[in-house]
Amino acid sequence: MASKTVHQPATEDEIRLAKLGYQQNLKRQFSAFQNFGFVLTNASVLIGVIPLYSFALTLGGPVALTWGWLLVASFVMCIGLCMAEICSTYPTAGGLYYWTAKLGGRKYGPVFSWFEAWFNSLGQVAGASGSVLSAAQLLGAMITIANPGTEINEYKTYGIFLALVITGALVNTMGGIGLKATSIFSVWVHILGTIVIVIVLFATSSHRNSAKFVFTEFHDGSGYTAAGYSSFLVFLLGLLPSQWSMLGYDSSAHMSEETQDSYINGPRGIVYTIIAAVVMGWALILGLNFNVDDIEAAIASGNAAAYVFTQSAGTNGGLFLLSIVVSAGWCCGIGTLAANSRMFYAFARDGGLPYSKFWVGLDERSGMPIRLVWLSALLVCILAIPSMFSLSALSAVSGISIIGFTVSYAIPVFLRITVGRKNFVQSEFNLGRWSYLLGGLGCAWTALAFVLFNLPQAWPVKASELNYTPVAVGFMLLFAGGWWALDARRWFKGPTADIDMDSIAKAEFAEAQRALEIKVPSDETLPVV
């Protein structure tokens, strides 16, 4: 009897990826839950709200967080739903960069995808930098609280920051084992950690603010209203912590080539993370606002959240609560490094990075872009250098991340409802006609955020409190725009397929063959034609 050669059937993910023009090079090893864990980690509510609580109290007070959180969440959900719809159709590691090229078409795709890649990378790098810097500052606060005579200055804080970044990059270097473990650990840190913090604050605090204070109290320590500016402007500037806390959910798309059933689980990761972030974040905000006993004292302490923790739960209890947030920040840095390296990988795969052939190489053991993980780590460290000289470094890095992320989110959404609306084919997750209304609202919010978070965060402006967000954003525009105008426009065409049409045809044949096998019982013999 002649032996049969058994071929491994192509999975649905591999077939769809082939149709998009790419081979399955990255290992598809992450489940829906692990994908959700990555996204929840990158959108870390704990590391968003807690470190910037002082900022929120200064610009707007409790009302800026209590109501500002829900206001920002509504716009974020508009953008997130639109992104989930696009992700279902284009589940690739390039994520928004790939979407932009396809939605822009031959005419607009190359230039929009070029700027998309750089803005998304800026958001990713700044997001990792801000998250780990927050964790470093909180860890420094823990050392000071535990040892009152110890001083942790800006230089020591940066040293702690470097140690956290390096260890985070090492976890990424471990490959799938390290990322899977971090993902699962991070989910429970964020969910259970938030619950524990809220319960402890309400159970141990001897002071309780009224609902009127939590929902209506306005405070301005920025100097804007004293200079005659509107209190509404201060409220809008105070939205920065809320928007900073609801970013990074695009990482679900960047991990899609490593996620099972990515055309379903990718969109779900985006939407479920936003829902979880809104619920957990608002609970955390209410816990802080109901239990802060003195706004001025909290701001003067240098870390308002740490002040509330220790005033409510005592020194040891406060240290325990802070350790939860530090763990969340470290996990967030790991997840953001992973997502950013995948974004860089997709860009280098299409020749968009200098020395792309070097950067696109995958580690033989782990099958991951380890070189790009360390490139991302280097950029993260460089972006945080001003923290040694500027008191507003964290809020500035947060602003940079917001600008980078929100602009990169809005570009494909804008193209989806304009030039790409005729050619876009909706997949399993689709919004129907709601795409246009939700996309328009999301783009309008992005335009407002771009202006708001480039403004000075205090008035009058002091050199030590300078918001260097416009400097970083301006440099990115000058760099990407200059390179495009002088050289890249001649050769960069956006995503380039690394698989030929024959391979796509084979994938389509495998898909049809598999469908036929499902319809015909396995014990029956197909007639020979």
**Looking at residue 518, what is its pLDDT?**
46
Peptide bond into 460 cis (omega under 30): yes
Q: Tell me: the pLDDT tens digits for 292-329?
A: 999 999 999 989 999 999 999 999 999 999 999 999 99
Choose which CATH entry (1.10.3720.10, 1.10.760.10, 1.10.10.10, 1.20.1740.10) describes domain 31-493.
Answer: 1.20.1740.10
DSSP state of 229: -
Please report which helix (H) or strand (E) contains residue 60, including its range: strand 59-60
CB-based contacts of 357, cutoff 8 Å, min separation 6: none
**Are the C-beta atoms of residues 131 and 108 closer than 8 Å to each other?**
no
**What does the chain come to in residues?**
529
**Are the C-beta atoms of residues 191 and 46 closer than 8 Å to each other?**
no
- Helices 62-89 and 96-146: crossing angle, nearest 10°? 140
Q: Quickly count: other Cβ atoms within 10 Å of residue 319's Cβ.
A: 18
The whole-angstrom distance between residue 160's C-alpha and the CA centroid of its chain comes to: 22
What average pLDDT values come out for the chain (529 residues) when binned by 10 residues? Answer: 47 79 75 75 84 93 95 95 92 83 90 91 88 92 90 92 95 83 85 94 93 95 90 94 86 78 86 91 96 94 93 95 94 86 84 86 83 94 87 80 90 93 87 93 94 87 76 89 92 73 53 50 41
**Are the C-beta atoms of residues 219 and 294 closer than 8 Å to each other?**
no
The two three-digit tokens of residue 150, written as one number: 């110890």
Quote the pTM value.
0.84
CA dihedral over 293, 189, 337, 43, signed as positive or negative: negative
DSSP state of 385: G
**Looking at residue 360, what is its pLDDT?**
86
Domain extent listing, the chain:
31-493
DSSP state of 220: E
**CA–CA distance, 74 with 84 (Å, rounded to integer):** 15
Our CA angle for 31, 15, 82, nearest 5°, is 65
**CA–CA distance, 79 with 453 (Å, rounded to integer):** 18
Listing DSSP states for 106-140 in one string gives HHHHHHHHHHHHHHHHHHHHHHHHHHHHHHHHHHH
**Looking at residue 170, what is its pLDDT?**
94
**Looking at residue 410, what is its pLDDT?**
93
Closest CA to 27 of 180, 169, 146, 161: 180
Residue with tokens 């149709």: 19
